Amino acid sequence: MKAARIVKVNEPLQVQELQTPKPKASQVLIKIQSSGVCHSDVHVWEGYYEGIGGQPLKTTDRGVKYPLTPGHEIAGIVDNLGEQVEGFSKNEKVLVYPWIGEGMCPACRVGEENLCDKPRSLGIYSDGGYAQYVLVPSYKYLVKLGDDMDTDTSAPLSCAGLTAYGAVKNASLKPDDNVVIVGTGGLGLMAIQLAKAVTGANIIAMDLDDQKLEVAKKNGANNIINSKKEDAVKGVMELTDKLGADAVIDFVNASKTVETDMQFLRRRARLVLVGLFGGELRLALIAMPTRAYKIIGSYTGTLNDMVELVSLAKRDIIKPVVSNRFKLDQAGEALQMLKDGKIVGRGVINP
């Protein structure tokens, strides 16, 4: 089989010919039809994230090993099954849950494999979806897609969609809450659709781009604030009877956005940090106990969340927007375009 691999960080991807894996026991071999191109693939390719003071946090320090086939948003059809697999048959259309854990840590024990101590996530810690086939360690990580669901728009559900859904869940929204959604790109937009569908909260969308804010409004935002043109803090205070936001979900998560978020939190507010922009935060520590804020880091979602999400997608409540399609040998180009901000919706590789 062919796979587009990161052989060395920051060097062009290489399309290599690899042995097609044979599934054993409960493993399943998936013939990949669609593999989403995610921003964290760019980080895995570059080999680092930005930490405090611009210091790079290396992916190899987090246990990533190269050469690696990236790609964790994988949809395709069942091609071959291990002898212990139940409930799946050849040619069934499935979405793969990539946030696989080692199975024994406290997080895995309660079904939060996405937060495992020793993660084995596909496309990050083991070979993923920029390939013709992927070996999934167990059939329990497969979720069946409806016959009328196409794999291109379904693939991004397993990371982009799941991250948005996980963040909305972590915000613990109640019907009368005001929630500010910071950053209305792909993830922010899905969070707006999901918050609208599954909570009764009043949604305030915040971005620097008027066009994106208009789209946010069409997709369920009750109010919009352009934080480039107006005072974001004043804007939120006016929309919330001077109380502040009950929850903020920040899909940018840069020093500047989070510093602003901190200024419009209501007492007891939840600040959910999702974006991977990075940076640092200066915090008035006294405000933490006196105002009882909760700062929550949100990373993807559980397998159970993905089952729910696929069910919501079946009913067209959420639909990722696919804007660019690539062949396998264009994988490097896809990453470069994403890095340069040239992909508006989601890019998908069709191997």
Q: What are phi and psi of 255, to 5 degrees?
A: -50, -45
DSSP labels, 67-106 = SB----EEEEEEEEE-TT--S--TT-EEEE------S-SH
Q: Is 167 in the site for Zn ion (CB under 5 A)?
A: no
User: Long-range CB contacts (< 8 A, 24+ apart) of 286-290?
Assistant: 287/262
CB of 246 to Zn ion, least distance (A): 28
Query: Looking at the chain, how many residues does it have?
Result: 351
> Of the candidates 6, 13, 30, 38, which one interacts with Zn ion according to CB under 5 A?
38
> H or E element: which one contains 14?
strand 14-17
Nearer to Zn ion, 121 or 193 (CB): 121
Smallest distance, Å, CB 300 to Zn ion? 7
Judged by CB under 5 A, which of 1, 42, 77, 105 binds Zn ion?
105
| Selected range binding Zn ion among 12-20, 142-150, 155-163, 240-248, rule: CB under 5 A | 155-163
- Residue 306 interacts with Zn ion (CB under 5 A): yes or no: no
Tokens 């008027």 locate to 210
* Closer by beta carbon to Zn ion, 128 or else 244: 128
Q: Which amino acid is at 344?
A: V
d(CA 332, CA 98): 21
Min. distance of Cβ 8 from Zn ion in angstroms? 21
Binding mask 73-102 for Zn ion (x = CB under 5 A): ----------------------------xx
Q: How far is CA 214 from CA 95, 113, 144, in A?
A: 31, 36, 34
Residues 242-261 that bind Zn ion (CB under 5 A): none
Nearer to Zn ion, 39 or 266 (CB): 39
- Figure out which of the listed residues 33, 40, 151, 184 binds Zn ion, where binding follows CB under 5 A: 40
User: Do residues 13 and 323 touch, judged by C-beta distance below 8 A?
Assistant: no
Question: The tokens 């060395």 sit on which residue?
Answer: 8
Which range in 115-123, 135-143, 244-252, 342-350 contacts Zn ion by CB under 5 A? 115-123
Whichever of 59 and 178 has its CB closer to Zn ion, that residue is 59
Would you tell me which residues interact with Zn ion (CB under 5 A)?
Answer: 38, 40, 101-102, 105, 108, 116, 159
